[in-house]
Amino acid sequence: MEKRFSDSATAGDTARTLAWLSTDEGSRLLLEQIDKDLHNLERLPCDLFVPHPIPSDEMLDEILQRTANKRKKSRVLHLWRAAAIFIPLVLLTSFGLYVNRYTDIFGISETQVIEAKRGEKLHFIFQDGSRVAVNSATRLQFPTRFGLKKRSVQLQGEAYFDVAGMKNRPFVIELENAEVKVLGTSFNVNAYPEEDSIRITLDEGSIAFHNNLDHSRTLLIPGQTLVFNKQTGASRLYAQPNATTWTSNQIVFQNTPFREIARVLERTYDVTFHVQNPNAYQFAFTFTSNPNEPLENILKDFERVSSLKFNIKKDTVMVGVE
């Protein structure tokens, strides 16, 4: 940069600089610096942010008006004139790369959707480095590039998020009548459309749950689970171990009603339960499966401890009561 100010930079200097910026260290430093620059630029008039050639003279005038130290005015003038010359190069390269690779600054990014069908699980890495594991029968919608102010996705189903920390760009999961806002943490969200409630379990960090029905806000700490009723808006906090065992192909039921168990097994094994006797819904089970446990084995264990009887016909499970 010093060579650029003095017009002594060679093509080799530029090539080496760009090569370094493509490394992890260079990219990290570049993103940190751009975040600081964007924060400062937000204070300038809004008309400087429309997509037209960068108005260096107007930016220089604005900067000079904010310069309070009269004695250093000549030095500041020299530096900012150099910066005004250098701004187009820096912003058109580094800032342009940042926008194209990481940020949808003008809100024109396309939307992508990934869907895990019943019986399958998916893993995905967002452009900011955040990771997500998507459970069966789940739909996740997100932009190809996240916005300048926040990283926002829409979830229907269940997913486990490991969010990359970015201080000035919170990660937001939009749900039915609610949303979850985080900076960097690991947590599970269970928000299937057919369920009455949304369940959120925090493993690491901290998250804020926003109730859009009464506009309340609840902070979670590691080890806590929040259950939110989508119709009434009521929510409660409690400790729930093993809430994210599905990511390791385990299924854990803890005094769980059979109605809920059937929905979980339908999504996991891509089957449909047909309950012939409503008395089946009176049962509840505590059970932990081994990874990749066949459905037949799970149902046999239920039969051993209850009067339920199961008959599997292709992708349909007939449920009766003796």
Assess whether pLDDT exceeds 80 at residue 204: yes
- pLDDT value of residue 50: 42
Tokens of 225: 């689970």
CA distance 144 to 173: 15
Assess whether pLDDT exceeds 60 at residue 38: no
Residue 10: in which H helix or E strand, if any? none
Assess whether pLDDT exceeds 60 at residue 222: yes
Assess whether pLDDT exceeds 90 at residue 275: yes
Assess whether pLDDT exceeds 70 at residue 90: no
pLDDT, average across residues 126-140: 92
Give the helix ranges, DSSP H, for 92-186: 96-102
Please write the tens of the pLDDT for every residue from 54-74.
Answer: 455 565 566 566 655 544 555
C-beta of residue 121 within 8 angstroms of C-beta of residue 133: yes
Assess whether pLDDT exceeds 80 at residue 122: yes
- Indicate the length of the chain as a whole number: 322
CA distance 284 to 282: 7
Surface-to-core class of residue 200, CB atoms within 10 Å of its CB (0-12 exposed, 13-18 middle, 19+ buried): buried
Please write the tens of the pLDDT for every residue from 141-192.
Answer: 999 888 777 899 999 999 999 998 887 889 999 999 999 999 788 999 999 9
Assess whether pLDDT exceeds 70 at residue 248: yes
- pLDDT value of residue 69: 52
Assess whether pLDDT exceeds 80 at residue 244: no
- Of 200, 169, 174, give the one whose Cα is nearest residue 186: 200
pLDDT, average across residues 134-138: 94
What's the pTM value of the predicted model, to 2 decimals? 0.66
* Number of C-beta neighbours around residue 132 at 10 A: 22
Secondary structure class of 219 (helix, strand, coil): strand
Side chain identity at 285, as an amino acid letter? F
List of domains in the chain? 2-104 (no CATH), 111-239 (2.60.120.1440), 249-321 (3.55.50.30)
Helix 295-304 vs helix 258-269: crossing angle, to nearest 10: 160
Side chain identity at 126, as an amino acid letter? F
For residue 250, name the pLDDT band (cuts at 50, 70, 90): confident
- pLDDT value of residue 168: 81
CA distance 161 to 281: 32
Among residues of the chain, what percentage have pLDDT more than 90? 45
Contacts of 252 (CB under 8 A, 6+ apart): 242, 245, 287, 288, 289
- pLDDT value of residue 46: 43
Q: Which residue has the higher pLDDT, 204 or 60?
A: 204
Assess whether pLDDT exceeds 90 at residue 94: no
- pLDDT value of residue 246: 83
